[in-house]
Structure 1
Amino acid sequence: MKLKAAIDKFPAGMMLIPLLLGAVIRTFFPNVFDMPEFKSSFTGGLLTGTTALLGGFYICLGSTIRFNATGYILKKGGSLWLGKIGTSFLIAFLIKAIFPDQNNLFLGLSALAIVAAFSDTNGAIYMALMGQLGKKQEDIAAYSLMSLESGPFFTMLILGATGLASFPVTAFVFTIIPLVLGMILGNLDEKMREFLSVGESLFIPFLGLAIGCGINLGNLFKAGLSGILLGLAVVVVTGIVLVILDFVTGGDGVGGMAAATTAGNAAAVPLAVAAVQPIYSEVAASATLQVSAAVIVTAVLVPIMTTWYAKRVEKRKAQSANNVVA
């Protein structure tokens, strides 16, 4: 039975399918979660231990981030990273200035969901596309810097800096420690990097299951519709910004288009932020669904758009070369 192959056919399937399974459990068996024997069991820990799972996940994720980078990688990766984070900052400022209720902007979208979806790039899609389209290794390696977006740190920073929420300094410190610890271990020892990096993908389905167990499917339709719109907004808005920045740094725009996605691990960010700032506890579950929907939308659209755009770029280069020869 090729179960993993079937799951992998779905965009972000290793996160999304366990998440939906957890949501089914929570929706149809809600009373189980109140049982004392469940809370103290291994099963209870597996289905509700989101915070512990996130801590382990970010250690493994951090181990994949390298300290060393060439000038080109810093320029390329830094510009795309700045484009993502800068756009998220600007959107958060606009939300603060325009909307009185940041937890219900439109179709149930919250500031938390929007910032989480906009500020994290799907590295797997970016690297796969850049490799498939024949880009040089430095373009692919640029994600090593962009991967700093991963985790709740920048979402918390943006929400805090724009006045949408307040976080104590210690919250930032304790949030980023697992990621930094993983970075230190991975850069000190290549074998440790290889060992921990495997855990990144291993944690994802367990995280999806635990996150799903906090979601009631009664809100799925509304969250799904708003999540689709959120995903489209990520592709259009960050796509335009990142393509322009790619051109400015000497690229042809393909890298910027390939980075206009939402990372699968961004679905874990709303609950991580809500654990630190309770004002988001009521919208964390719906935000998780909305970000998950954005992951799927961007995972479907961006490869299609990037491949189409790359063909146009190559055609334009070929025509320019022919004109020069003529």
Structure 2
Amino acid sequence: MRIKQAVEQVPGGLMTVPLAMGAVLATWLPRMGEYFGSFTGALFTGALPILAVFYVCIGATIQVRTLPKVMKRGGALLGAKIALGVICGAVLGHFLGTQPVQAGWFAGLSTLAVVASVNDTNGGLYMALMRRYGTAEDVAAYSLMAMESGPFLTMVTLGVAGLSSFPWQTMAGAILPLCVGMLLGNLDSELREFLGGAAPVLIPFFAFSLGTGLDLHLVWSAGLPGAILGIAVLLVSAIVLIGIDRLIGGNGTAGVAAATTAGNAAAVPMLIAAADPQYAAAAKPATVLVAASVVVTGLLAPFLTAFWYRWMNRQAS
């Protein structure tokens, strides 16, 4: 049986499929983790420890010596994503504050959901698209853009937008595992290979744990906002990132490929709520919405990237 291959056919499948499995169990067998307890129960409630290990492993893959070479391309795209997140946070925060929309077609939509969706690029998809349509420099740019991973940038964005004030210890704690991983990976290439290889393995486990905190009735009700959020993230991010990419000498293809939401971004709302309780009401629906954005942007970005690449080649010829 080719289970892994089938799962990977789903956009962000290693994240979204276990997330969905956890949500199914939480909806139909809500006391299963409590009933079995022990290690089984820990899988239902242990997202934060697993994520801590995950970010150490991700950090180990970021090589400091490569940063100067990709600073121009990766730094520009990273900066544009951060700026876009801050603008979205400031504008939506003015109207929504920290709470989700309570009723109507956009029930569950929140500033947290939008910022988390914008802040983190789907690195695997970006690198795959750049290997097909970009240059080696474009592919390498993700070594810097990988610093988007985790809740740190979302904390910064919400703070800059005036929507939250996180203690410095909390913000340092959010990025410390990533920094520890970077240190270990750069001190020892064998550790980089060892830890970096473990990162993909952890994704399904923290995804499942996050899923057990979701109610599928909420997922169903958030279907339309999730689809709209994904399309909006892709189109708005693509417009901004194409402009930035062309300003630094690219043709915009890397900008389109970076206009996605990473699978691990679905973990950010819960992490933000753990650091700041005022986001507790928004965290669960935001997790669903961000997961929807992962799927929508993952499905549409390859087609949009291919279209833009061919259109630019026709323009150049």
TM over 0.5: yes
Aligned to 2:23: 23
> Secondary structure at the residue paired with 1:69?
helix
- RMSD over aligned CA atoms reads 1.5
Aligned to 2:83: 86
1:97 to 88, 94, 97: 94
1:182-219 deviations in Å (ceiling 9; x for gaps):
11111111111110011110000001110011011111
1:70 Cα shift?
Answer: 6.0
Q: Take 2:233 and 2:66, find their aligned partners in 1: how far apart are those partners? A: 27
- TM-score, normalization by structure 1: 0.93
Aligned to 1:43: 40
> Partner amino acid for 1:224?
G
Aligned 1:200-211 pairs, distance under 5 A: 200-211=199-210
Q: Take 1:264 and 1:90, find their aligned partners in 2: how far apart are those partners? A: 22
1:119 paired with 2:111, answer no
Give the conservation status (yes or no) of the 8 Å contact 2:98–2:111.
Answer: no
> Secondary structure at the residue paired with 2:165?
coil
What is the percentage of aligned positions where both structures have the same residue?
A: 44
1:72 Cα shift?
Answer: 5.1
1:33-68 deviations in Å (ceiling 9; x for gaps):
455x62xx0111112101101101100111111212
1:265 Cα shift?
Answer: 0.9
- TM-score, normalization by structure 2: 0.95
Q: Take 2:132 and 2:66, find their aligned partners in 1: how far apart are those partners? A: 22
1:192 paired with 2:196, answer no
Aligned to 1:324: none
Q: Take 1:312 and 1:114, find their aligned partners in 2: how far apart are those partners? A: 29
Larger radius of gyration: 1
Aligned to 2:300: 301
Give the conservation status (yes or no) of the 8 Å contact 1:87–1:238.
Answer: yes
Q: Take 1:237 and 1:185, find their aligned partners in 2: how far apart are those partners? A: 37
Q: Take 1:100 and 1:291, find their aligned partners in 2: how far apart are those partners? A: 18
Aligned to 2:164: 165
Q: Take 2:245 and 2:282, find their aligned partners in 1: how far apart are those partners? A: 35
**Paired positions, count:** 314
Aligned to 2:178: 179
1:31 Cα shift?
Answer: 2.9
Residue 101 and residue 190 in structure 1: after superposition, are their counterparts in 2 closer, same or farther (change >3 A)?
closer
Aligned to 2:240: 241
Runs of at least 5 residues in structure 2 that lack an aligned partner in the other structure: none
Give the conservation status (yes or no) of the 8 Å contact 1:95–1:102.
Answer: no
Runs of at least 5 residues in structure 1 that lack an aligned partner in the other structure: 319-326
